[in-house]
Amino acid sequence: MPVYISLDIPKGKLSVVRGSYDYHHYMQDGIDDCGWGCAYRSFQTIWSWFYLQGYTDKPVPTHRQIQEALVDCGDKSASFAGSRQWIGSLELGYCLENMLGVSYRIIATNSGQEVTENARVIALHFECTGTPIMIGGGQLAHTILGIDFNENSGDCTYLVLDPHYTGGEDISVVISKGWCAWKPPSFWKSDCFYNLCLPCIPETAI
C-alpha cells in the first residue's frame, strides 16, 4: 500500500522521496511483531523502494531473512534468527550492504534537537538521492519520507511514515489518524539519541 500526503502551506522548500514504495507496518503477513518489529518494517518499506524502482528483483525479505542476514554477516549470534529482538539503524545498514549490495550513511545524534540540526543534510539527501530514511531512537523506528525546510529560519517539518500501525490497508485511515503525517521537530524526543540510516542508490538498475 503506497502512501502519499501533501502539505497545504509549506514553511520552506519541500524535499521528498523519489518514486514509489509500499507501506510495511505491524501485523502484516500474518506476523504479530508489535513491540519489536518496527525497524524490520521500516527496512521492508525501504526495500520496496529499491524493488519498485528496478534496482533489485528480489522480493521484500521476511523478518527471519533479515535476522539470518545479520547472523551471516557476523553481527548477531545464531540464536538471533527466529527471535523477537529489536534492531536499529546500524543493523539496517548491514542488511542493505549484505542483502542488496547498497551502501549507506549513518547520522548519529544525541537528541531530537540534533536531528533537526541535520535538517539541511536530510533535505540534500532527498534532493540528490531520494531514498526513504530510517530513523531509530528510544526503541522506536520510523521512516522519513520528506522534509519541509526553510533555509532562512531553520524551521522544518518531517514527513513521517509510522510502522507501528496495526490496522487494515486503508489509506484514508492511515492519513486521517496520522500514521503518515507531517511531524514537527518536537516529534523527536529531546532525551533520546537517534541514528539515521540514509541508503545510497546503485549506479544502475537490474
Residue type (1 letter), 50: F
Instruction: For residue 4, give the C-alpha cell.
Output: 502519499
According to DSSP, the β-strands at 180-183 and 194-199 are unpaired
- Nearest residue to 97 (alpha-carbon basis) of 176, 197, 168: 197
Q: CA dist 39 to 7, 35, 148, Å?
A: 26, 10, 24
Neighbours of 78 (CB within 10 A): 9
Instruction: For residue 101, give the C-alpha cell.
Output: 549490495
For the annotated catalytic residues, the residue numbers are 38, 162, 164
- Bin 151: left if φ > 0, else alpha if -120 < ψ < 50, else beta: alpha
Residues 6 or more apart from 169 whose CB is under 8 A from it?
1
